[in-house]
Amino acid sequence: MSFPPSGEYIESIRTPTDVLITEDAIKRLLLSPAFTTSFKRVSASHGLAMPLNFASVGAELNVLSLLSVLNFASGFRVPLHVATGRGAWDCMRAFVFSLFITSSSEEDLLSARGIQSISQGKVAELMGVNIHVERPHETLQHVTIGELGGPLYDLVKLVTRVLNETGEILVNMGYPDLGFFVLEALKDGHKAQLSKGDHADVEFILERLVRAFPAFQDMAVVDGQNIFCFKKALFLIHAISIRFGSAEPPPFPIPSTAHIPVFSDNVLPSLLIHLGVIDMSGSPKLSSLFPDIGSHLAALLATAESGADVAKKVPPKEGPVVTCDQAYILRAAAIDACELIVEVAHKLDEPSLEWLAEIDRPSVDMWLWAVAKDRPDYRKLERFVLRDTVYF
């Protein structure tokens, strides 16, 4: 499929879908104790703190960029929890930290050439996962054979492919690492902003990232309609703003990201479905995915119960497996829902909740993503599953 027109990447992300999202459902969420008592605290939990000793700002930018490229594997949440005790994001963070810690002047695993040549075995080793499964021998009784296979082997193949592909592109373009590419995009984006204004820097950076790397080309044609999400590229731009925006002076141009769409994965739409904002009942393609939706809505919108955090120690339950088309429809619906959530919040006249007029799309994204981990009952909620993707 074709890329969006130049200069219209952000606008192209806002794609209406056929699911029902009503203002009443949004108000119900915004005024619920679940939202009002947790938003300010939870939306600040971005998960981007990195306890690493970087030699330079450029080295940190490179690590953050690689972490964004690898910000996927949500479909492997359950096997990752079983194998490592961590979910997808925490596993990818730990993996990138391992790349950093084990790199040396002789073998820089974070460089363009390092990720271009990294092997599946090395990826599995640094992720701390077993990529072998055992099966009975065809002829010898009581003998088992270990062979490559299983869901985590599939994940390792995806991670290795993304790293090798990204590294090869960087090498061919003459960049020593991904951070250098991103730094150049930030500087050129700043020039575009000075000449054109109106958030031209974010448009420029987003387009450069998406056009250069397949791992950022998060788009599809569904029922004849183009759907653009660009979750990981948007996440990277916002992560740069969070990590480096408060420095005085900033080490490089920092784009303003308050206006950008949310970074839609499987968490945002799944949680918005459970919280009654996205209504799939009228969609033949989607209505059967979450059959028990609505039965626990009152409890989910109430204040979180205090007590033992048992849910964190129990592997989550696998959610409904979806097709690629279904995933794009749901992710697009979450983008539209969060857009409407901000619009409704800004016009609500609630004297005790004046702060609702200040929320923006990234903070709504961060609340949804973080609250899904924050509450034990939310951690138990099913999320839809798509494994054969490198976009979320």
Separation of alpha carbons 53 and 60, rounded Å? 9
120-143 mean pLDDT: 88
What is the rounded CA–CA span in Å between residue 342 and residue 215?
29
40 within a domain of the structure (yes/no): yes
Q: Stretch 7-25: mean pLDDT, rounded?
A: 90
Q: Can you give the pLDDT at residue 140?
A: 82
**Within-domain flag for 14:** yes
Residue 182: inside a domain: yes
What pLDDT sits at residue 134?
A: 79
Residue 2 lies in a domain: no
Inform me whether the pLDDT recorded for 325 exceeds 80: yes
Distance CA 175, CA 376 (A): 44
For residue range 46-89, list pLDDT tens digits in order: 778 888 999 999 999 999 999 999 999 999 999 999 999 999 99
pTM metric for this prediction = 0.93
pLDDT at 15: 74
User: 191 vs 140, 202, 254, CA distance in Å?
Assistant: 69, 11, 12
- Three-state secondary structure of 232-285: HHHHHHHHHHHHHCCCCCCCCCCCCCCCCCCCCCCHHHHHHHHCCCCECCCCCC
Q: Give residue 39's Cα distance to chain centre.
A: 19
Q: Is residue 385 part of a domain?
A: no
Q: Say if residues 375 and 310 touch (Cβ distance below 8 Å).
A: no
- Contact call for residues 338 and 234 (beta carbons, < 8 A): no
Query: Is 331 within a domain?
Result: yes
CA dihedral 8, 58, 159, 313 (to 10 degrees): -100
Q: Looking at 107-111, 141-145, 253-257, 308-312, which range is the least confident one? A: 308-312
Name the token pair of 81.
């929890």
Cα(234)–Cα(220) distance, integer angstroms: 17
Task: Band the pLDDT of 306: cuts 50, 70, 90.
Answer: low
User: Can you tell me which residue has the tokens 């990204």?
Assistant: 166
Q: Quote the tokens at residue 84.
A: 């490592």
Percent of the chain predicted with pLDDT > 70? 98
Give pLDDT, residue 346.
97
In this predicted model, what pLDDT tens digit does every residue of 160-208 receive, in sequence order? 999 999 999 999 999 999 999 999 999 999 999 999 988 899 999 999 9
pLDDT digit string, tens, across residues 359-387: 999 999 999 999 999 999 999 999 999 99
In which band, very low, low, confident or very high, does the pLDDT at 313 lie, cut at 50, 70 and 90?
low
pLDDT band at 44 (very low <50, low <70, confident <90, very high): confident
Domain span at residue 165?
9-379
Q: What is the total count of domains within the chain?
A: 1
Smallest CA-to-CA distance from 132 within 121, 147, 120 is with 147
Task: Classify residue 384: in a domain, yes or no.
Answer: no
Q: What is the pLDDT of residue 379?
A: 92
Distance CA 25, CA 269 (A): 14
Question: Using N-to-C axis directions, what is the helix angle for 57-69 and 231-244, rounded to 10°?
Answer: 150
Looking at the chain, list the stretches that DSSP marks H as alpha helix, in order from N- to C-terminal side. 9-13, 23-30, 33-36, 39-42, 57-69, 77-84, 88-102, 112-117, 120-127, 151-173, 178-196, 200-212, 231-244, 267-274, 297-301, 324-347, 361-374, 376-379
The pLDDT value given to residue 105: 86
Are the beta carbons of 265 and 290 closer than 8 angstroms?
A: no
pLDDT score at 11:
94
In a domain, 98, yes or no: yes
- pLDDT higher than threshold 60 for residue 92: yes
